Chain A
Amino acid sequence: MKRLFILMALLLPLSLYANEARPLADDEAVEQRLIKIAEEMRCLVCQNESLAGSHADLAEDLRREIRVQIRAGKSDAEVMDFMVTRYGDFVRYRPPVKPTTWLLWFGPFVLLVLAVGALAFMLRRRNHLSPDIPLTDQQKQNAEALLRDKS
């Protein structure tokens, strides 16, 4: 028993080596990806902040969760999927293009086309409304007189 203690005491210093500082680069890569992903997401508690910039409790939890997933080797798209299945498309700052958002994405262009079409239609109609009225002889002479004066 006593010998065991002595042996243990002798082995003790071996376990006391200071740990090597954890390589920062490894963590930094995770952190960089976390920020890149979280900047694309809306914080649900304070809706005008991104998940990357929010100090809300939930945002911290979600960042922790994303960190775990990044370490587990999930792709950015998989992390985004994880969030969207739980919180809906609302977490994304960029809404996806799908039938329910077609109006959002293409509505402005539809309006533009309609407006340009309406403008073209009106201009053409106006042309028809003002047919050429031939000048009288008097008017022609006046016009020529004016042009001559100018030069």
Chain B
Amino acid sequence: MKRTLWYLIPLAFFIGLVAFFAVGLQRDPRLVPSPLINHSAANFTLPQLHAPAKTFSPADLKGQVWLLNVWASWCVSCREEHPILLKFSRNHVVPLIGLDYKDQPSDALKWVGNYGDPYTLTAVDLDGRVGIDYGVYGVPETYVIDKMGVIRYKQIGPVTQEALDNTILPLIAELKK
């Protein structure tokens, strides 16, 4: 009896290894956790899409919970999350700021003209420099920023109804308290 137990050790070891790999291989390598969570959102000043003479800066929204959605007219999966964002903005939960990333303002205007504009306002990041400060590596990306201007959550890829209902909305409700 004792002898067979000894032989089971390598088997147990092997099963452990398989379990390790099974979990590891099922993770999406494209989801790189952002180190910016729980850090202050970088400040910037950028012209607004609809009023280029006016600027937007995250400091304007101090004291409010808000969402920063990075999008572009050339971004295909932005179309995917668009209806969800439109519905979200109709409820006026919190300001939804767009960051038009590496995009021509004329194209961006056409895009929101065609598909609807969910954004409270959109800032134009023509050369993508602000995107670098937010660690943007794929559009769309969405950041939840709290009253103190700290990034609390980052959605990489399109905002899904599931992510909105299960993660983003509860987080907003908590942060608004």
Contacts and interface: CB of A to CB of B under 8 A. Distances in A.
A65 interface: yes
Contacts, number: 42
Given A57-B102, A61-B132, A88 B138 contact: no
Given A57-B102, A61-B128, A87 B29 contact: no
B35 A88 contact: yes
B138 A87 contact: no
Interface residues of A, number: 15
A65 B23 CA distance: 36
Tell me what chain A mostly uses at the interface: helix, strand, loop, or mixed: helix
B5 interface: no
B30 to A, nearest CB: 8
Nearest to A56: B137
Contact of B135 (A57, A61, A86): A86
B145 to A, nearest CB: 16
A97 interface: no
Contact of A88 (B34, B128, B133, B136): B34
Interface in A4-48: 44-45, 47
Given A87-B35, A88-B35, A65 B132 contact: yes
Contacts of A89: 35
Of B33, B127, B132, B137, which is in contact with the most chain A CB atoms at under 10 Å from its CB?
A: B137
A84 B33 CA distance: 12
Given A45-B137, A58-B137, A84 B35 contact: yes
Nearest to A48: B29
Contacts of A70: none
A62 interface: yes
B175 to A, nearest CB: 23
Contact of B32 (A57, A62, A65, A87): A87
Contact of B138 (A45, A62, A65): A45
Interface in B120-163: 127-129, 131-138
A104 B151 CA distance: 29
B137 A87 contact: yes
Given A86-B35, A86-B36, A62 B132 contact: yes
B137 A88 contact: no
A88 B102 contact: no
Contacts of B131: 61
B166 to A, nearest CB: 24
Given A44-B137, A47-B29, A58-B137, A85 B132 contact: no
22 contacts: A44-B32, A44-B137, A44-B138, A57-B102, A57-B128, A58-B128, A58-B136, A58-B137, A61-B128, A61-B131, A62-B132, A65-B129, A65-B132, A84-B35, A85-B35, A85-B36, A86-B132, A86-B133, A87-B35, A87-B135, A88-B33, A88-B34
Interface of A: 44-45, 47, 57-58, 61-62, 65, 84-90
A-B interface, 5 closest residue pairs, ranked by CB to CB distance from nearest: A44-B137, A88-B35, A86-B135, A90-B32, A61-B128
Interface of B: 29-30, 32-36, 102, 127-129, 131-138
